[in-house]
A and B are shown apart, each in its own frame.
Chain A
Amino acid sequence: MQLVSACTKTLLDSRGKAAAMEKFSISILLIISLLPFLCSSFSQESPTDRRILVLLDDFSLKSSHSIFFSSLKSRGFDLDFKLADDPKLALQRYGQYLYDGLVLFSPSVERFGVALDLAAVLDFVDSGHDLIVAADASASDLIKSIATECGVDFDEDPSALVIDHKTFAVSEIEGDHTLIAADDFIQSDVILGKTKIEAPVLFKGIAHSINGANGLALKVLSASPSAYSANPSSKLSSPPSLTGSTISLVSVMQARNNARIMITGSLDMFSNRCFRSGVQNAESAIKYDKSGNEQFVAELTKWIFHERGHLKAVNVRHHKLGETDEPAMYRIKDDLEFYVEIYEWSGKSWEPYVANDAQVQFYMMSPYVLKTLSTDQKGLYHTTFKVPDVYGVFQFKVEYERLGYTSLSLSKQIPVRPFRHNEYERFITTAFPYYGASFATMAGFFIFSFVYLYNK
């Protein structure tokens, strides 16, 4: 009897333990399942970057460029400063990226720390993260090759700087005209914000050009037609390789996965000195108290870190006119309605995106229908059209690529079938003579047989 009770007791005990264990494991499961949300890098829901790794050549940059960094911090970014050759440097741990963005303010670094190299940086970009690369006259091969991989070629001459004898920035001391006051901005409100940048941007650094084979890179700030790239301290022996407005001072590239990259040949552009100083273009009489650098850099980083110009298209729906359920297949000549919702990220929330140029294609190897979508101003776009008289596997395609915006590329496959055997018109008016003829023949044959057989 006692034995039995003891047994039941242990049994109960173990049951209690099991229950506790279960609770524990459930909570662990919960945490694990939440983990991706807690530490997701480039979430679909809020595309703005949060954690940014800044790699520096030495920590003195932290103070000399403090305005730039503090403006980032005030916008809510977590900045993590590391020396570029820090041996413990790592972008990812256990396959998860630790950062959403990378700022390379280390132009002279020849090698990064152990776990970081060219391929790692490119992988970082290819998995959808953003990158800012700033070079200067001491730019290393590593930095140049990163730029090359992103479709931008720095001037090969290591001692060359951008020189402009016409649009240089006027300063007290007569310099070698390498400090340029550039104001040839890209015409895009999305990239540079709605407020016009009045003052020129001070730039001192090396030139680069966009690789013609790359269709994704853009010049955001170009040099004036009188600029060229050469060594300012030596005499020009041969014509400079890069001249005029082919020289790009600041370029951006939006990769196909919407990772954004900014490349500039001037690290000084971000410095406190350039932010603070006044500027006067040698060609114009207006003298600005403050250079355009701060506004330019702030607006551009907003774009780079997805605070602006990030679109998403969701809820692609389609159905037959007058129905609500989405069919698995359409029939030729069906009338259908197509919906898609497009939102723009404002930095904090998704706002309806309003435009009148979004189009949908009904596509099978080539577009059969191309319709402009009409919007209800609340993000919902819609249109109606008739399925063409061609069967096959079609796609609804929304390809929306506008300057500065993330490219939207949606496709939804839908087969289109021909008529079923019983969907054709059964009796056609024009065919009545044929119906009449066949019935008349039948009747005639019957009568004839009857007469022939019994008329004797």
Chain B
Amino acid sequence: MLARTEPINGTAKPKPVSSPMNNFKSDLLNSFSLKSLKLKTKQQELLIRVSILCLVYVLAFITRLFSVLRYESMIHEFDPYFNYRTTLFLTQKGFYDFWNWFDSESWYPLGRIIGGTLYPGLMVTAAIIYWTLRFLRFAVHIREVCVLTAPFFASNTTIVAYFFGKEIWDSGAGLVAAALIAICPGYISRSVAGSYDNEGVAIFALLWTFYLFVKAVNTGSLAWALASAFGYFYMVSAWGGYVFIINLIPLYVMVLLITGRYSLRLYVAYNCMYVLGMLLAMQIRFVGFQHVQSGEHMAAMGVFFLMQVFYFLDWVKYLLNDAKLFQVFLRITVTFTVGVGAIALGVGTASGYISPWTGRFYSLLDPTYAKDHIPIIASVSEHQPTAWSSFMFDFHILLFLFPAGLYFCFKRLSDATIFIVMYGLTSMYFAGVMVRLILVATPAVCLISAIAVSATIKNLTLLLRAKNKVAQTASAKGIGSAKSSSKGLLDQSQPFHRNGAIALLLGAFYLLSKYAMHCTWVTSEAYSSPSIVLAARGAHGNRVIFDDYREAYFWLRQNTPPDAKVMSWWDYGYQITAMGNRTVIVDNNTWNNTHIATVGCAMSSYEDEAYEIMRSLDVDYVLVVFGGVTGYSSDDINKFLWMVRIGGGVFPVIKEPDYLVNGEYRVDKGASPKMLNCLMYDRARGVEIGNKDVKLEYLEEAFTTSNWIVRIYKVKPPNNRW
């Protein structure tokens, strides 16, 4: 490694802080200091490292407990309620019933095959933790396990980050990475206690897989590749984001091949990981044969075949001594394979055997795609392109350390650093496309920043120390030529070094402590509210809690017949089934666009037309969220335009311009006439009501929560006499 960077060394000399130079030096100094304090330092270092890791582990866990302390131990948001419900089912009915679960309570009347349409990793993980605790005679409730699963896995992620950092740089970088990722807001946003979502365990699995793969590439060991295949299997079972892995790793391999870094280690690692990982992933029902049939996975397969060609060519080259002959052979082989591959892909796609890319995939590559073609994807706020502020909010100083880290990585290029660079760059791009993918970028950003921090600080401290050493050992004798050369270098820049290094160290310390404070503040203020319970500051600064959602769901549970069907916008579907225990028409698993569009159509039609639709769906109750009284901004009228767009996507009767006034969306008196008369408007009016005293002919109010946030309407039976 050092040998490779030696030539760069020379060019980098004039720079005051040049990392390879310093690394070189550090090695020297290490060997020097080890001479005098051999065992003791090693033990000390180990002790410090382990205790830092332990502290980081604990820190990662407790910083995510704000919401539990502030509210209560409960599940947050929307999707986690579904996960909780399925986990409950899994622990009660066992794995096989879970695997074959057909849920008739959601997506009425279509139903949903839960077992075949979810990633079971999270539920199985939580259930195993639960069973283990039960086996150890800890009488915990499954809800507590679910609430604390994400923080637990966040803690585990820090350990993986440490090992990963150690693998790509050194153990110092590993430690910094562990500390950074433990409190990074981008990760905390999806892993606070109660946020029982796939991402909670998936980020752990993602980093774990990457770590094992890099390890396999570095060692060329079958065992590590096998382990990484299993890590990949766990990732596939936990989150749809596995597509990122199965595309990033081939991309990485491609880059290595192009840059002439092909090696047998890479061959072993990739082939083993790909083949076994693919076979294992097929065991997940939701993924099934996608690895061989879907366009998104074709890159991995193409690279797999390319590897074989490379290997074959290597072998032929070894057999043929004639370079000219080999050139000819190479040309023929490459043309032939590329041709065959293209034909196979073309035939597969044309015959429908290989499915084309999905909308979500397209929207990643082209951020404007979803907005034009698939409103349902664009309607989710976390699928929106990321604003600059949220980068700053989620990464803070890491945003500036990231390029610095890239610089260090490029300075010391190896298979491992190439990987982390590619991971960082691609995930940064995706984070820019979609808000939620900041999460995927977070580990990379933390690792690369950790490299920057670690390398800088190490250099600075070495400078300080080295000077002391020089001062101390100036009188001492017997110093090698290398020592003298370094001394000469130090002498060269002595006047500024000491103070500059101290200032820089203090600056770094200041920045890092700012980062820690920012992270804690963000965690406490922004990411620890469970969204199902709203908190606001009252007039006297006291905390006001709006628990309307749970009130409404409880009302549904207690006061409606067990087979009642509730229609709401799909956001609330999971919560209604999980907490209200009632059948819903659509929920957050947006697998059937037509069905959602039907509901959107009902919400945005005139009341009598909506009534027909609701009758055809056997709807008994309509649940809407109304922010008018409390000023709650994310109510249904806010989401209304999406209902119009989604409804209009399938039923052309619904036209977006009908609801707009001069291209503007208004809910007050100036709203368009169609808007004022549609069902949704009646249900969830804005603050400045444009159409007061709405009289409903086909619906009657059944229940309104204490703060008027949730309103439930009952669909009247058909007129008795007409």
Residues of B within 8 A of A58 (CB): none
CB-nearest residue of chain A to B563: A413
Complex Cα distance A149/B62, Å? Answer: 68
User: Is B305 located at the chain interface by the 8 A CB criterion?
Assistant: no
CB distance from B285 to the nearest CB of A (A): 8
Q: Known contacts being A365-B109, A391-B113, is A125 close to B100, with CB within 8 Å?
A: no
Residues of B within 8 A of A92 (CB): none
Q: Are A126 and B104 in contact (CB under 8 A)?
A: no
Residues of A within 8 A of B617 (CB): 365
CB-nearest residue of chain B to A215: B722
Q: Are A151 and B722 in contact (CB under 8 A)?
A: yes
Q: Are A253 and B721 in contact (CB under 8 A)?
A: yes
Complex Cα distance A393/B595, Å? Answer: 14
Residues of A within 8 A of B362 (CB): none
Q: Known contacts being A393-B104, A413-B563, is A126 close to B720, with CB within 8 Å?
A: yes
Residues of A210-250 contacting chain B, CB below 8 A:
213-216
Q: Are A256 and B104 in contact (CB under 8 A)?
A: no
Q: Are A393 and B108 in contact (CB under 8 A)?
A: yes
User: Is B348 located at the chain interface by the 8 A CB criterion?
Assistant: no
Complex Cα distance A417/B110, Å? Answer: 10
Complex Cα distance A416/B102, Å? Answer: 9
Residues of B within 8 A of A214 (CB): 721-722
Residues of B within 8 A of A255 (CB): 720-721
CB distance from B264 to the nearest CB of A (A): 18
Complex Cα distance A413/B104, Å? Answer: 10
| Among B102, B617, B719, residue most surrounded by chain A Cβ atoms (within 10 Å) | B102
CB distance from B406 to the nearest CB of A (A): 44
Residues of A within 8 A of B718 (CB): 256
Query: Residues 701-722 of chain B: 1 if any A CB is under 8 Å from the residue's CB, otherwise 0?
Result: 0000000000000000111111
Query: Residues 617-641 of chain B: 1 if any A CB is under 8 Å from the residue's CB, otherwise 0?
Result: 1000000000000000000000000
User: Is A420 located at the chain interface by the 8 A CB criterion?
Assistant: yes
Q: Are B102 and A329 in contact (CB under 8 A)?
A: yes
Residues of B within 8 A of A253 (CB): 721
Which single member of A125, A216, A365, A394 contacts B722 (CB below 8 Å)? Answer: A216
CB distance from B278 to the nearest CB of A (A): 16
Query: Residues 12-56 of chain B: 1 if any A CB is under 8 Å from the residue's CB, otherwise 0?
Result: 000000000000000000000000000000000000000000000
Which single member of B100, B113, B583, B721 contacts A149 (CB below 8 Å)? Answer: B721
Complex Cα distance A129/B617, Å? Answer: 30
Q: Are A415 and B111 in contact (CB under 8 A)?
A: yes
Q: Known contacts being A365-B109, A365-B616, A392-B109, is A421 close to B721, with CB within 8 Å?
A: no
User: Is B99 located at the chain interface by the 8 A CB criterion?
Assistant: yes
Q: Are B111 and A125 in contact (CB under 8 A)?
A: no
CB-nearest residue of chain B to A414: B104
Which single member of A259, A261, A393 contacts B111 (CB below 8 Å)? Answer: A393
Complex Cα distance A347/B722, Å? Answer: 27
Which single member of B104, B113, B285, B721 contacts A125 (CB below 8 Å)? Answer: B721
| Among A150, A253, A421, residue most surrounded by chain B Cβ atoms (within 10 Å) | A421
Residues of B within 8 A of A96 (CB): none
CB-nearest residue of chain B to A217: B721
User: Is A63 located at the chain interface by the 8 A CB criterion?
Assistant: no
- The binding surface of chain B is classed by DSSP as loop
Q: Are A392 and B721 in contact (CB under 8 A)?
A: no
| Among A126, A394, A418, residue most surrounded by chain B Cβ atoms (within 10 Å) | A418
CB distance from A279 to the nearest CB of B (A): 34
CB-nearest residue of chain B to A364: B109
Q: Are B104 and A415 in contact (CB under 8 A)?
A: yes
Query: Residues 372-404 of chain A: 1 if any B CB is under 8 Å from the residue's CB, otherwise 0?
Result: 000000000000000000011110000000000
Q: Are B104 and A329 in contact (CB under 8 A)?
A: yes
Residues of B88-140 contacting chain A, CB below 8 A:
96, 99-100, 102, 104, 108-111, 113
Residues of A within 8 A of B717 (CB): 256
Residues of B within 8 A of A329 (CB): 102, 104
Residues of A within 8 A of B720 (CB): 125-126, 255-257, 259
Complex Cα distance A215/B720, Å? Answer: 11
Query: Residues 65-105 of chain B: 1 if any A CB is under 8 Å from the residue's CB, otherwise 0?
Result: 00000000000000000000000000000001001101010
Q: Are A418 and B102 in contact (CB under 8 A)?
A: yes
Residues of A within 8 A of B721 (CB): 122, 125-126, 149-151, 214, 216, 253, 255-256, 261
Complex Cα distance A35/B357, Å? Answer: 69
**B interface, size bucket:** 20 to 34
CB-nearest residue of chain B to A390: B110
CB-nearest residue of chain A to B111: A392
Residues of B within 8 A of A415 (CB): 102, 104, 111
CB-nearest residue of chain B to A150: B721
Residues of B within 8 A of A392 (CB): 104, 109-111
Complex Cα distance A365/B111, Å? Answer: 12
Q: Known contacts being A125-B721, A149-B721, is A417 close to B102, with CB within 8 Å?
A: yes
Q: Are B113 and A421 in contact (CB under 8 A)?
A: no
Residues of A241-276 contacting chain B, CB below 8 A:
253, 255-257, 259, 261
Residues of B within 8 A of A413 (CB): 563
CB-nearest residue of chain A to B99: A421
| Among A126, A216, A364, A417, residue most surrounded by chain B Cβ atoms (within 10 Å) | A417
Q: Are B113 and A418 in contact (CB under 8 A)?
A: yes
CB-nearest residue of chain A to B719: A256
CB distance from A388 to the nearest CB of B (A): 13
CB-nearest residue of chain B to A258: B720
CB distance from A423 to the nearest CB of B (A): 9
Q: Are B722 and A393 in contact (CB under 8 A)?
A: no
CB distance from A456 to the nearest CB of B (A): 19
Query: Residues 143-160 of chain A: 1 if any B CB is under 8 Å from the residue's CB, otherwise 0?
Result: 000000111000000000
Q: Are A391 and B102 in contact (CB under 8 A)?
A: yes
Q: Known contacts being A126-B720, A151-B721, A421-B100, is A391 close to B563, with CB within 8 Å?
A: no
Residues of B667-722 contacting chain A, CB below 8 A:
717-722
CB-nearest residue of chain A to B108: A393
Residues of B within 8 A of A149 (CB): 721
Complex Cα distance A253/B722, Å? Answer: 10
CB distance from B100 to the nearest CB of A (A): 4
Residues of B within 8 A of A259 (CB): 720
Q: Are A393 and B113 in contact (CB under 8 A)?
A: no
CB distance from B351 to the nearest CB of A (A): 20
Complex Cα distance A417/B116, Å? Answer: 12
CB distance from A333 to the nearest CB of B (A): 14
Q: Are B109 and A213 in contact (CB under 8 A)?
A: no
| Among A122, A125, A416, A420, residue most surrounded by chain B Cβ atoms (within 10 Å) | A420
Residues of A338-368 contacting chain B, CB below 8 A:
364-365
Complex Cα distance A214/B719, Å? Answer: 11
Residues of A within 8 A of B722 (CB): 151, 213-216
Residues of B within 8 A of A256 (CB): 717-721
Q: Known contacts being A214-B722, A256-B718, is A393 close to B109, with CB within 8 Å?
A: yes
Complex Cα distance A421/B720, Å? Answer: 47
CB-nearest residue of chain A to B285: A421
CB distance from A7 to the nearest CB of B (A): 48
| Among B100, B719, B721, residue most surrounded by chain A Cβ atoms (within 10 Å) | B721
Complex Cα distance A232/B617, Å? Answer: 54
Residues of A whose CB lies within 8 Å of any CB of B are 122, 125-126, 149-151, 213-216, 253, 255-257, 259, 261, 329, 364-365, 391-394, 413, 415-418, 420-421
7 pairs from A and B in contact (CB 8 Å cutoff): A122-B721, A149-B721, A213-B722, A329-B104, A365-B616, A393-B110, A421-B96
Can you add 5 more A-B contacts, CB < 8 Å, to A365-B109, A421-B99? A256-B717, A329-B102, A329-B104, A392-B110, A420-B96
